Amino acid sequence: MALLEVTDLRVSFDTPQGVVHAVRGLSFGVGEGRTLGIVGESGAGKSAGVQALLGLLPGARTGGRALFAGRDLLTAGEKELRRVRGGRIGMVFQDPLAGLHPLYPVGRQIAEAVRAHDPGIGRRRARERAIELLALAGVPDPARRAAAYPHRLSGGLRQRALIAMALAPGPRLLIADEPTAALDATVRAQILDLLRRLRDERGMALIVISHDLGVVAGLADEVLVMYGGKAAERGGRHPLYRRPQHPYTRGLLASVPSAALFAGGGGARLRPIPGPPPDPRDPQPGCAFRPRCPHALARCGEDPPLVPVAGDPAHLAACWLVRGPEGDGP
Ligand SMILES: Nc1ncnc2c1ncn2[C@@H]1O[C@H](COP(=O)(O)OP(=O)(O)O)[C@@H](O)[C@H]1O
Ligand SMILES: [Mg+2]
């Protein structure tokens, strides 16, 4: 059994404008030492999906099951979730400034994260540990950087400081939500290298979320492509990039320069997919991608199930055009 096993996750928000259906029945998992990439356009439900697991969406309604080391996070109480967040699951967000307090030196904030997890550790030892963690996260001259305030650091160093903080309790799973969206291409590649190295050295499970298939290409063992709060396609990295089945995945791939796919992402967009994403306030029956799909059929008015692609039981796609194991596609 995988470290994290999410089954049929649903997340919705009650708003004055109506119910927002952010995640509509999503299943995925990740094992120790493995990386899952979650990809999709803005608004697909990527962040809501992982934040719901950690109890970070107080107003949300959730359904389904999310077993972490055998325990269901969706039924856990606030106290237990707080312990999980400061412990076995670490999280890194897009904007490192949002995760750092502007008025304290970064070393002190990391030392506090160390002490929160291990109250018995002395202040001096916690400070030393913070410097070790900064070094581990690839911050050069970590003793000097520990004394710096967040705004004195470059974007790349701030993201490294935030990763150091997430590593403080020795998490078994690290979730990085758009960890490189605010960084330029060179720094982005360095941060992705760092995540890969930390995963390998520490045997952590890693979930990397991005709107860019290029970002997860060099890192993920498995990729989940989300559209309109659901899985459009899921599979091993190589089968998914080499034989994409869902027209949405193909559209996303066509919008990433192929060089970027293997250099860790970024760069100019090629052909964006025309048309707007679906409105999560008003989910329509049938395939959510239908209005933008160049291959839509009458049958697409019915919800396509997520089915295995012929020849690869671990590669699944939700599209009527996919030839299933019984060869029942068109
Ligand atoms: N707290 C919230 N209240 C109402 N709607 C929300 C809230 N958080 C997210 N949403 C909506 O849920 C949908 C999915 O959002 P999100 O998970 O942030 O997408 P992604 O991370 O894929 O860009 C969006 O339509 C967003 O506006
Ligand atoms: Mg997001």
pLDDT in tens, 284-308: 999 999 999 999 999 999 999 999 9
101 occurs within a structural domain: no
60-68 and 71-72 beta bridge pairing? antiparallel
Instruction: Give the list of residues 6+ apart from residue 323 with CB closer than 8 angstroms, or none.
Output: 309, 310, 329
Cβ of 15 less than 6 Å from ligand 1: yes
Bridge partner residues of 4 (DSSP): 30, 68
Backbone dihedral angles phi then psi of residue 232, each to the nearest 5 degrees: -85, -40
307 occurs within a structural domain: yes
44 occurs within a structural domain: yes
111 occurs within a structural domain: no
In this structure, which residue's CA is closest to atom 3 in ligand 1? Answer: 13
Q: How would you label 271-295 residue by residue, b for 16+ Cβ within 10 Å and e otherwise?
A: eebeeebbebeebeebbbbbebbee
Instruction: Give the list of residues 6+ apart from residue 14 with CB closer than 8 angstroms, or none.
Output: 59, 61
Ligand nearest the Cα of residue 13 is 1
pLDDT of residue 69: 93
Quick one: three-class SS letters along 43-86? CCCHHHHHHHHCCCCCCEEEEEEEEECCEEHHHCCHHHHHHHHC
* Domain hosting residue 218, numbered range: 4-88+171-317
Cβ of 12 less than 6 Å from ligand 1: no
Cβ of 280 less than 6 Å from ligand 1: yes
148 occurs within a structural domain: no
- The domain that holds 231 is classified in CATH as 3.40.50.300
127 Cα to the center of ligand 2, angstroms: 32
214 occurs within a structural domain: yes
128 Cα to the center of ligand 1, angstroms: 39
145 Cα to the center of ligand 1, angstroms: 35
Q: What is the mean pLDDT of the chain?
A: 92
- The whole-number average pLDDT for the span 136-151 is 97
pLDDT of residue 196: 96
- By three-state DSSP, how is residue 276 classified? coil
159 occurs within a structural domain: no
Cβ of 40 less than 6 Å from ligand 1: yes
Residue count (the chain)? 330
In this structure, which residue's CA is closest to atom 16 in ligand 1? Answer: 45
Cβ of 230 less than 6 Å from ligand 1: no
Share of the chain above pLDDT 90, in %: 82
In this structure, which residue's CA is closest to atom 25 in ligand 1? Answer: 43
257 Cα to the center of ligand 2, angstroms: 22
Atom of ligand 1 nearest to the CA of 59: 1
CA-CA distances (angstroms) from residue 188 to 93, 140, 178, 194, 289?
Answer: 14, 17, 11, 10, 30
pLDDT of residue 257: 67
pLDDT of residue 162: 95
318 Cα to the center of ligand 2, angstroms: 22
Residue 222 near residue 37, CB atoms below 8 Å: yes
Higher-pLDDT residue of 270 and 17 is 17
Picking from 285, 284, 328, 283, the residue whose alpha carbon sits closest to that of residue 307 is 328
Bridge partner residues of 160 (DSSP): none
32 occurs within a structural domain: yes
| pTM recorded for the entire structure | 0.94
pLDDT of residue 325: 57
The span from the CA of 187 to the CA of 153, in Å, is 13
How many domains, the chain?
Answer: 1
Q: Which amino acid is residue 317, in one-letter code?
A: A
For a pocket test of ligand 1, which of 13, 14, 38, 50 has the largest count of ligand atoms closer than 8 A to its C-beta? 13
Cβ of 48 less than 6 Å from ligand 1: yes
Residue 131 near residue 107, CB atoms below 8 Å: yes
